[in-house]
Structure formats: C-alpha cells, structure tokens
Amino acid sequence: MEIRHYWSMAVAAVGFRLVLVLFGGDLHLASRPEVSTPLTSLRRLAEGYWLKQVSMSPYSGSMYHGSPLLLSVLGPLTSKRSGGHHSHIYCSLVFVAVDFIAAMLIRSTGRTLQMARNRSLKSLDLTKSVNNSVNVSAGDTASLIYLWNPWTIITCVGSCTSPIENLMVVIMLHGACSRLAPLAAFGYVMATHLSLYPAILILPVALLLGYGPDTPPTKVFLQKGLSANKIDMSDNGKGTSQKGFGQFSWKPILHFILWVFIWSCYVLSLNSIILNKVGGLQEMFEKTYGFILTVKDLSPNIGVLWYFFAEVFDFFRSFFLIVFNMNIIFMVLPLAIRLKHRPCFLAFVYTAIVAMLKSYPSAGDSALYLGLLGLFANELAEMQFTFFLFFGYIGVSLLSPVMHNLWIWRVSLSLYLYLYLYLSLSLSTHTCCVLLLT
C-alpha cells in the first residue's frame, strides 16, 4: 500500500530545507557538537582549502582531517571570493540535493526489499492472511522518515559533510540490494574513504550480493497464518527458506572485489594528484584514519570517548584505545552469524552500532540509521513499547543542548544522566529490533 501524496510530502521536505537555507539566516549550527565534528566540519574544510591554495599541506596543524576529494568538490564553494554567507548557501544547496538523492535511493531499496517480501508471502501461500494486516510501502516510509527527520534537516543546513557520507552508505546498500557490483563497490570505497567505520559493512554487502535481497524469516509469516494450516505452512516455510536463501553465488562477490580494487586505485590516484607537492598519501592516512583511531581531539561531542579519554591516565591510553576500537569489531562476526539470513537488516544494525560507538559521532549518524529503520516498517508494525521509544528519542534530542550547556558551561553532573538515557534508549531499541526480526 503506497503512501498517499508521497511526492507532495517529499517536495515539501525539500522546500522546507530551502527555506531554512535561504531565509533562515545564521542558525549557528556549525558550532554545535551535536551537528558538527572535527571530521565533518565545513569550517575546518574551508581552512584546509585555504592552506592548499597557499601551497601548504591541508593537514598542517590540527584543523582539517577529511578527504582531499572534498577539498576539490566543496572547497571552491567555501572560498571567501564567493562571499561569506553565500558560500554557506552554496554548500547547503549541495547538501539539499544530496539528501534528496539519498532519500530516492532509500525508496528504491525499500521497493526491492518489498518485492522480495512479497515473493516470500506468495511462496508460503500467506498473501491473503497478511494482506488483512498492515502492509505499507517500506520504501516510501523510509524515504519520508529520512527526509523529515529533524536530525537529517539539521545536519543538512548545519554546515557539515555528514550528508555526503550518508549518501555513500546508501549508494552501497542500494547497489548491493540491486546486485549491481560496480555501484556497490563505488559506494563502499567512497564511504570507507570518507569515514573509516563503514568498512565493517563488507559482510552484509557480500551477503546481499551472494544471496540477493533479504526477506523476513519464515516464522514471522507463519505466525500470521491460520492455525489450521500451521503444519503445512511450516513445511512450506522450511522448503522455501532452503530454496530461496540456500543458493549462494560467488560470481557477484568476485565482481564486487574486482570493482573495489579498481575504485580504490582510482580514488588513491585522485588523492595523490590533489596532494601533489602539498603532502602525500602517508600524511593523509595519518591525519584521517589515524586521527579517527587515536581520538586526539577531545572537544565535547554526543559520544562518550571524548570524556573517557579526557579523564584516563596517559599510561593506560594505548590500552583503552585498543579496547574501544576493537569493541565494534567484536560485534561484527556474532551478529553476522545470527543475522546472515537478513543482510540488509544486518547492515542497519552495524550502522546503528557505529553511530553509538564511533569516536566522533554526530546527529547525522543517527539520522542515517533511523532512516534505514523505516525499511522494516511492516515487521516493526507490531513492535511493543513504540510510544516509549519514540518519545524517548524526542526527549533525549531536546535534552542534548541543555545537558551540553549544563556540563560545559555550568559544570553540572547532569551529563551522566543524559549519557545514561541516550545509551539505554539506543541499546533497548536495537535489542527490541533484533528480538523482533530474527
């Protein structure tokens, strides 16, 4: 069931962004730790571009830690020759277009998953029984959630490069769900280049290319069937599960690996050309990936690593750096084993974990995984405690600037309460989703 007036709501979301960009004035979002980080700040990018223009390395000092490609694409738009306020408008208009493209790709990915879900329903002879329940278009829902999410809007108009990073992740998932190896490889290489953490998405991408789009597990459909046909449907479900998800193809995987190598060589060559005579690839890796892993910038953000490493003794710093960085890797293999039949949902879980545990998180990371959550709207329709979780996210979002002011400027201990609420809410949401969909 498609959402009525979808295009009206999508255009309204784009128009709302344009109003904020053109007539909103200076909203001072670039200085907010919830929006901008040392890796995504447009002000830092402008500083790096200025250093490059005067024949210095853009990584001189400790300002810029992003990709050289962004310097070439967005750098000219941040130049003072374009006018101070006008340069901000030009960059924001680019981010508006990027958000719209990402939403359309999410919509297309949702439709691909919906087709796979309908095939499973048809093979299990449960189309009539499930049609009586809620059956909405997951792609339309996910794209509208992404477009109208306040965090996505704030990130779009907040002078940061997070929308571009999110677009690359969406391109990767769209290419993998559509089994387009070159497109999936391009998104994977670019997402990993812009932000190191999407590298763990290699497993769900490989499963999507090898098995095809995932479908909800058979037991979800069987529970919706008639009790009189429970035995027959169980037999059909097992046969379908083995038939539909048991044939793994290595050809798309090898094709994907080849294109990853091609795109990686191409990206490294472009970076080498851009940094010619003003640095090199070794300095780029040290100032980007090394900066992410060593957590050298301890300015406050919505994560917990900045506070922990600000308090820890230098003698234990290397040990805890290994522990925190390995924390994400330890979750990769167990989740892949448990959710191998749901590679797209596995990618969502990885994205949500990264949004919580990365060294420099922002609202843009949460906007991405909340948008991807809409892809599973039909499975989440019967989820319990949705009222509590929904308003819990709203409460935590509204408390974020308040707690930042109390902790940084008024030296209050209420940040502990905010961090506890944020982490508890996030973990409870992910736990409920995993229990419901596996």
**How many helices (H) and strands (E) are present in the chain, helices listed first?**
22, 0
Q: Is 310 exposed, middle or buried (0-12, 13-18, 19+ CB in 10 A)?
A: exposed
Question: Cα(377)–Cα(3) distance, rounded to whole angstroms?
Answer: 12
**pLDDT at res. 233:** 45
- The pLDDT-based confidence of 313 (bands split at 50, 70, 90) is confident
**pLDDT at res. 231:** 43
State how far the alpha carbon of 72 is from the alpha carbons of 50, 95, 111, 168, 376, in Å. 11, 16, 35, 17, 37
**pLDDT at res. 69:** 93
Residue 33 CA, distance from chain mean position: 18
Give mean pLDDT, residues 281-303.
89
**pLDDT at res. 423:** 52
Give mean pLDDT, residues 308-325.
86
Calculate the average pLDDT of the chain: 80
Tell me if 380 sits within 8 A of 366, measured CB to CB.
no
**pLDDT at res. 165:** 94
Give mean pLDDT, residues 257-266.
96
Tell me if 176 sits within 8 A of 205, measured CB to CB.
yes
In sequence order, what are the residues at sequence separation of 6 or more whose Cβ sits closer than 8 angstroms to the Cβ of residue 42? 30, 36, 74, 78, 88, 91, 159, 160, 161
Tell me if 346 sits within 8 A of 203, measured CB to CB.
yes
Amino acid residing at 303 = G
**pLDDT at res. 279:** 78
In sequence order, what are the residues at sequence separation of 6 or more whose Cβ sits closer than 8 angstroms to the Cβ of residue 186? 171, 172, 175, 259, 263
DSSP letters along 355-411, please? HHHSSS--HHHHHHHHHHHGGGHHHHTT-TTHHHHHHHHHHHHHHHHHHHIIIIIS-
Question: Cα(355)–Cα(169) distance, rounded to whole angstroms?
Answer: 13
Q: How many CA atoms lie within 13 A of 382 on its CB side?
A: 12
pLDDT in tens, 329-344: 888 999 998 888 889 9
pLDDT in tens, 363-390: 889 899 989 988 887 777 767 777 777 7
As a whole-number percent, the residues of the chain with pLDDT over 70 amount to 76
Closest C-alpha to 40, from 51, 53, 29 = 29
- Residue spans of the domains in the chain: they are 6-382
pLDDT in tens, 421-430: 555 555 555 5
Give mean pLDDT, residues 72-94.
74
* pLDDT for 84 beyond 60: no
Residue 402 CA, distance from chain mean position: 25
A 10 A CB-CB count for 311 gives 8
Give mean pLDDT, residues 350-358.
90
Element (H, E) at 196: none
Question: Cα(162)–Cα(70) distance, rounded to whole angstroms?
Answer: 12
Q: What tokens were used for 27? A: 């909203």
**pLDDT at res. 227:** 43
**pLDDT at res. 235:** 46
DSSP state of 312: S
pTM of the model as a whole:
0.85
Tell me if 382 sits within 8 A of 435, measured CB to CB.
no
Give the lowest-confidence range in 119-128, 206-215, 365-374. Answer: 119-128
Which residues are registered as beta bridge partners of 317? none
